[in-house]
Homo-oligomer: A and B are copies of this chain.
Amino acid sequence: MYAAILAGGVGTRLWPRSRQDHPKQFSDITGSGRTMIQATVDRLEGLVSAADLYVVTGAPYAGLARIQLPAIPADQILLEPSGRNTAPAIGLACVHIRRRDPQGIVAILHSDHAIPDAAAFRQALRRAEVAAAAGGIATLGITPTFPHTGYGYIKRGRSLDNLPAGEPAVYTVEQFLEKPDRATAEAFLADGAYYWNGGIFVCRVDVMLREIDRQLPQLSAALGRIDAALDGPPDHAQAVLESVWPAIPNISIDHGVMEGAEAVATVPLRAGWNDVGSWDALEAVLSPDADDNCIAHGDVIGEGSRHNIVYGDARLIALIGVENLVVVDTGDTLLIGHKQQMQNVKTIVERLRAQGRSDLL
């Protein structure tokens, strides 16, 4: 199996540790000692070797990707001239893999998700690989743990009993659903047949490129030119990529391909998956200490302080009588927020941008 790791995003929700010149996926957000993209690669150990890994990221991050992932061949770190959402990035990776292995199976992964139970994750990917070999696109359906209104959902259909029996189960996909309202999300959770759509899936590259050709002909034509140019010298291939890319439609794989794809399957995943979409998510990923504080990193001394999330830097952090705070300390910025208001990090970032303080972003 190959893997294509999507690493093009530049989120602001994990500011101040995630920065424009050093986005979330290239940062150690969970305090594990590994950046999120390194942890993504680590998680594939025994399943996908470095020689079979592809990374798709923005041109400004080529250096970060090469330094952080030295085992991946440099020409498998694919650089998008600009961000065009997930469908073009996945198409680009599939084109490159198809040149090596026309029916190669690829796991499409995000570079900035936390998945604590790596063994369960690999088991689900292996199961998805079986479904993909049969010509389907197998998406991982993340077993929901609460009625989240920020994710799309997948409704499973019948069990795919034409596949060899095994664990985890494989189901057809009855429907991809948009982000629900609270009541709908609660009904999904109670029903048990709905999964979070984490955007992780496994398919044959020829199957994916055929779906792109059927559903997104403009993207398919552009990918065809990029593919043809790869037969020539590298300078020419790069020039074609840069000339073709700006006109490529900005479209997600969900809207552009998955919702209209023919044989879609889903493999349930219960592995503590978390997209770490804001600082308060660390609580779901880290183990609390005796005072129920989650310390991702740093030297913390607490007195009467509980339920806090701390990502420290070099200095000592003393907490006195505080609860439900998020504290993120970096060399130039200190963020202190209430756990339930961390979505407002974006507002702070926007205000700093409006003030022209790009050195802090």
Interface residues of A (CB under 8 A from B): 16, 301, 303-304, 312, 314-322, 325, 327, 329-338, 340-342, 344-345, 347-348, 351-352, 360
Contact = CB atoms under 8 A, between A and B. Distances in A.
A327 B320 contact: no
Contacts of A320: 335-338, 341-342, 344-345, 348
A317 B360 CA distance: 11
Nearest to A329: B334
Given A322-B325, A336-B325, A341-B304, A316 B360 contact: yes
A334 B318 contact: yes
A196 to B, nearest CB: 26
A329 B332 CA distance: 12
Contact of A316 (B301, B334, B340, B341): B334
Contacts of A319: 336-337
Copies of this chain present: 2
A318 B336 contact: yes
A324 B16 CA distance: 23
19 contacts: A16-B316, A301-B352, A303-B348, A312-B334, A318-B334, A318-B336, A320-B335, A320-B337, A320-B344, A320-B345, A320-B348, A321-B337, A321-B340, A321-B341, A322-B338, A325-B336, A327-B334, A329-B334, A336-B336
A344 B360 CA distance: 33
A144 to B, nearest CB: 26
B348 A335 contact: no
A316 B336 contact: no
A17 to B, nearest CB: 12
- Residue from the set A301, A312, A319, A335 with the largest chain B CB neighbour count within 10 Å: A301
A227 to B, nearest CB: 46
Contact of A333 (B315, B325, B337, B338): B315
Nearest to A319: B336
A301 B348 contact: yes
Contacts of A304: 341, 344
Contacts of A347: 303
B315 A337 contact: no
A351 B301 contact: yes
A318 B335 contact: yes
